[in-house]
Amino acid sequence: MTLYDSYGRPLLNLRVIVTDECNYRCVFCHIEGEPLNSPIPPGLARSYGYLSVEDYSVVAEASKRVGIRKIKFTGGEPLLREELPEIIRVFDERGFDDLSLTTNGFFLDRKSLVLRESGLDRLNVSLHTLRPTVYKLITGVNAFGKVLKGLEAALNEGFRQVKINAVIMKGLNDGEVPELIEFASKKGAVLQLIELHPVGMARDIFEKYYLPLEEIEKYLESRASRVEVRRDLHNRPIYVMDNGVRVEVVRPYNNWRFCLGCTRIRISPRGELFPCLNWFGERPSIHRYMNGARSMEEKVDAVVRAIKDVNKLRRPFYKPPSSHDVV
């Protein structure tokens, strides 16, 4: 069974935000769509009613029943969540096609092994620059060397894939793309270039640092041996470079093709479901749906209903100018 929204887009991906806490202060942080006026101070997670491991087992079973195939764990910084290995395991037990996680890499030097043993398939590690001073400017943390150490640890653990995430910003790191490609080649990693998006903290710096990625894509195309498209997620182009590196380009801003290829929903650490990073409307809470449910089966049925209801809210944030433009 696969759910489709009113635009014919399948629901295949669930983004699981396991914590709001983060040890970084990145200038572009989109806070996974969380309201800017309600930050969660470090160390106060418990008082905000985070989902338990048992709750996640219900979410995992319900997600599997509605045809969700891929799970992405994120935050905040997900490695700050103490129960993360247990949370990953309850999803791994359901046999999803893909379990991945996005991290700033700060804790990877000592946590890569437990992530792999928990059933995680892939890792996205944020590394926006190869210059330590620029790294500190972007992230607010002097941890470039520590992240490189963590990246090496992850590469040695046998994950199906390790992907390097780089948000490209005008005047900061836009000239480093060739170097990042060569770095990814040496490490055997995939490189993902991400366009700055005016969501969360990035609203304040968007005008200063936004760089459309068209010119960078022209450079990638000039070096690519072939170009692929990820039809299962945002219609993202993937450039297979002359040195073998796969470079995936994420262009969310003012891009209706990106929106028409969206196949995901999100769940907050407190159990709120929402259909889009740009969503500011109703957020169905799985707690409300599970209210009164006693058995595991009743809870799963309740969360299935919640997922179906949030799927009805899914719609492209950016829409094509007219139907004949859709290709």
With beta carbons less than 8 A apart as the criterion, state whether 12 and 70 touch: yes
DSSP 236-285: EEEEEETTS-EEEEE--TT-HHHHHT--EEEE-TTSBEES-TT--S---B
CA distance 245 to 181: 7
Average pLDDT rounded to a whole number, residues 30-48: 53
Q: What are 208's two structure tokens?
A: 């200063």
Q: What is the DSSP letter of 10?
A: B
* Distances, alpha carbon 149 to alpha carbons 109, 112, 125, 212, 260, in Å: 6, 11, 12, 31, 38
- Residue 231 tokens read as 């039809």
Q: Which helix (H) or strand (E) holds 304?
A: helix 296-312
The rounded percent of the chain whose pLDDT value lies above 70 is: 93
Average pLDDT rounded to a whole number, residues 5-30: 95
For the stretch 81-134, pLDDT in tens is 999 999 999 999 999 999 999 999 999 999 999 999 999 999 999 999 999 999
Domains in the chain and their CATH numbers? Answer: 13-161+253-325 (3.20.20.70)
The mean-pLDDT minimum among 32-41, 204-213, 221-230, 240-249 falls in: 32-41
Q: Can you say whether the dihedral through the CA atoms of 249, 252, 255, 256 is positive or negative?
A: positive
